[in-house]
Amino acid sequence: MKIFTEQNYKVRFLPEEKEIEIPSDINILEGARLLNIPLLADCGGMGLCGRCKVKLVKGDVRQEENFNLSSQDRKDGYILACKSYPASDLTVEVPAASIPRGIKISRRLDIHCPDKESLPYPYQPLVEKVFLQLDPPSPEDNQDDFQRLCRGLKEKTRIPSFVIPYKTLRNLPHTLRAKNWQVTVTLSGDMDPARILLVEPGDTSARNLGIVIDVGTTSVEAMLVDIPSGRITHFTSHLNPQVKYGADLNSRMIFAETEQGVMILSDIVMDKINEILLELTLELGINKDHVNSCVISGNTVMIHFLLGIDTQFLRKNPHTPASLRFPIYRAEDLNFYINPQALIYITPGMGGYVGGDMVSSLLCTGMREDSFLLVDLGTNGEVAAAFEGTVLCASTSAGPAFEGGGVRRGMRAEPGAVNRVHYSKTHGDFVLSVLDNRKPQGICGTGLIDLLAHLFKREFLDRKGKFKNQDKSHRFRKNHEKNDEEFVLFPSTPGRETISVNEREIAYILATKGAFFTGYNFLLKKMEKTFKDVNKFYIAGALGEHINVENGITLGLFPDIDRDRFSFLGNGSLKGGRFLLLSRHAREKAREIAENALCPDLSAEPEYMNDYTSSLFIPHTDLSLFPSTEKKE
C-alpha cells in the first residue's frame, strides 16, 4: 500500500510481513491501522495508555515526548507507535502484548436450551414461515395467483392484507405450480400490510432461522435461533475491531470526526458482523437464505457507528443523537450475508448514550418486579432503576477496566486469563486460577475484582487503594524506574511479560467501580428511594454471571443488601434480543420502555460528581452503606 506525498517512507511490520509507504507526518499507529494491523490503543492514539509499543528493528523515527515507556523499554528499542513518525524507511516488530487478545469464543448449545414454550412473552416471531396447500385454478375459481395466495394466507393467519416484493411476484406463477400448489410463505406480520418476503415451493416451514447480535463497545456477540422451536443453537463472541481506535466510546467518537473516520468505524464493524454471519452459516452448513430475521442491539453510539451516522453532536452537549428509533431494514440494505429479503430489527434506544442493549436487558427482567436496579457491567456502564411504573436509566461511562482496558495486563475472559483469586490461610499466599488451565496471559474483570477485594481484606490495600504491609508478602516488587510498587501475580518468563497491578491501575479500577455504584445510587436518590426499597438487583453483562458478589460488595461495586436479592442476567442484550426476535409483544414492550424511560445526563448533575468522589474509596467514604464489610478473619 502506498500513500503519495512529497516525502514518503516505507514501514515494514513484523511478524506480519506487511509494508506500507506513508508520509513523515503520519504516525506508525496510523500506518498499522491502514494495513489492518490491530495495535492496542485504549486511549485512541493520544499517547496516554502506553499500549501501542512496537520495537524499532531498523531505521530512524521522530518521536514526540511521552512518559509511558520505561527506560528498559527504550534500551530494548521500543517506541510508542502513536508518538513515532518515520524519518527513514523502517522495520518495526509488533510484540504479542501490543495486539488485542481477540480470541473467538464459539460453541454449539445443547438441546436443553429454552424453547418458545418458556418465553415470558407470547410467541409471534418477527418473521414466520407458513405452509399452504392451495386449490388450483378452475373455470369456477379463476382468481389471479397473488390473490389466491393472499386468500390462503388470510385463512391461515387471520392477517387481512399483504404486499409482495417485485422479484417474488415475478417468479410466483412457477413457484405455485412447482409442487402442485404446495408452498411455504415467509412473511412478517409486523408490517401493515403484512410483508411477504419469499415464496418457496413445497414445505420448508421448518427451515427458518434468526440471528441476534449484540454490538458491544468491546465485543460483538451473536447467537443463532431456530425460529419454529425458539431454541438457541449456536453462540459466538468476537473482539470488536473498533478497539484499535480506542477502548472507550469518547476516543472513538473523536476519531469518527476525522476524515472518513465514521465510515471506517462503520465498515470494520460491518465486516465483523458479516464474518460472524459467514461463521454461523457456511461453517455450520446452513443455507444463508434460511436466515430470515435479525435483531441488533447496542448502545446509542455503537448503533450510530454501525449505520455510519455522524456522532459529533452526540459527543457534544447536549448529546443529541441523530435517531433513537429505526425502521425495519432489509438485509440487502445493510449488505448482510443472509437472505437479502431478511428483516433487520434494531432495538430502539432511550437516550444519548443509553441504547437498545439496555432496553433488551430490561425485557429480560419481565418488568414484573417493580422495585429493582439493573446494572450492565460493560464499558458504557449503563444502569437503570424501576419503581412505581417509572424507569430511570443512565450511562456512567465507566470505562473498559472490567473488559481488559486500562490495565497493562488486562484482557477479556478468554483462555489464559486469571479469572479467580483466593487467599489461602493454609499457604499464607494468594491462589490464582486461569481460564482453561492455559499459560497465563493476563487478568480479566472477575480476577481484578477478586484480587482487590482480597488485598483489602488481608490488609495489603488501604481504603484509598494504596499498598500497605508490603513486607508481609513476597509478591510485592519495587519498580525503581517509576518509583512505584506493583503486586505480582505471575513473574516474567521467556515469551511472557510480568502479570502484575500497580497503584495507578488500582485507582483506574476503583474509578470504574465508583462510576457504577454512584450511577445506580444517584438514580435511587432521584426517585427518593434507598437500597432498602430494592427488591431485586439485576446484574447484566458476560462478566456478571461469573462475578463473586461478596467480593463485589467488599470493593463497593455492589450495594450491601440481602444476597438473595441479586440476580444474574448474563448478556441481557442477547437474551432480550431473542425475545424481540420471537415475540411481537416483546417488540411492543421495547417500544414502550424506550419511549417512556427517563434518562438524566449524569455529567450535568453536580451531586453526581460529589457522590462519585466518595465512591473512589474501598468500599466508600460512607461506611454506613456497607455495614457487613467489617474486617473478617
The model's pLDDT over 355-375, given as tens digits with 9 standing for 90+, comes to: 999 999 999 998 766 799 999
The model's pLDDT over 528-541, given as tens digits with 9 standing for 90+, comes to: 999 999 999 999 98
Residue 471 grid cell: 513486607
Cis peptide before 600 (omega within 30 of 0): no
Mean pLDDT of 339-354: 93
Mean pLDDT of the chain: 89
Per-residue pLDDT at 268 exceeds 80 = yes
Domains along the sequence of the chain with CATH = 8-98 (3.10.20.30), 128-201 (3.10.20.880), 209-346 (3.30.420.480), 361-400+509-625 (3.30.420), 410-503 (no CATH)
Look at the alpha carbons of 167, 169, 173, 176 in this order and tell me if their dihedral is positive or negative.
positive
* pLDDT band, very low/low/confident/very high, at 2 (cuts 50, 70, 90): very low
The answer to whether 182 touches 133, Cβ cutoff 8 Å, is yes
Per-residue 3-state assignment (H helix, E strand, C coil) for 68-111: CCCHHHHHCCEEEHHHEEECCCEEEECCHHHCCCCCCEEEECCC
Please tell me the pTM assigned to this model.
0.84
Mean pLDDT of 154-171: 93
3-state secondary structure of 215: strand
Per-residue pLDDT at 141 exceeds 50 = yes
What b/e string do you get for 43-67 counting C-beta neighbours within 10 Å, with b at 16 or more? bbbebbbbbbbbbbeebebebeeee
Overall residue count recorded for the chain in this entry: 633
Residue 518 to residue 372: CA distance in whole angstroms: 16
The model's pLDDT over 546-598, given as tens digits with 9 standing for 90+, comes to: 889 999 999 999 999 999 999 998 899 999 999 999 999 999 999 999 999 99
The answer to whether 411 touches 401, Cβ cutoff 8 Å, is no
The model's pLDDT over 393-420, given as tens digits with 9 standing for 90+, comes to: 999 988 888 887 788 888 888 888 899 9
Decide the pairing of beta strands 484-490 and 499-502.
antiparallel
The answer to whether 201 touches 185, Cβ cutoff 8 Å, is no
The answer to whether 305 touches 252, Cβ cutoff 8 Å, is yes
- Predicted confidence at residue 30, as pLDDT, reads 84
Least confident interval from 60-74, 267-281, 428-442: 60-74
Mean pLDDT of 143-152: 95
Per-residue pLDDT at 107 exceeds 60 = no
The answer to whether 238 touches 276, Cβ cutoff 8 Å, is yes
Per-residue pLDDT at 110 exceeds 60 = no
CA 343, chain centre distance (Å): 22
- Predicted confidence at residue 283, as pLDDT, reads 77
Per-residue pLDDT at 111 exceeds 50 = no
Concatenate the DSSP letters of all residues of 398-427 into one string. Answer: --SGGGT-SSTTB--S-TTEEEEEEEETTT
Per the DSSP assignment, residues forming a β-bridge with 434 are 418
Give percent above pLDDT 90 in the chain.
60
What is the end-to-end Cα distance of the chain in Å, rounded?
62
Per-residue pLDDT at 213 exceeds 60 = yes
Residue 208 grid cell: 427458518
- Nearest one of 39, 166, 150, 129 to 93, comparing CA atoms: 39
- Predicted confidence at residue 387, as pLDDT, reads 93
Least confident interval from 124-133, 215-224, 226-235, 483-492: 483-492
Position with higher pLDDT, 118 vs 623:
623
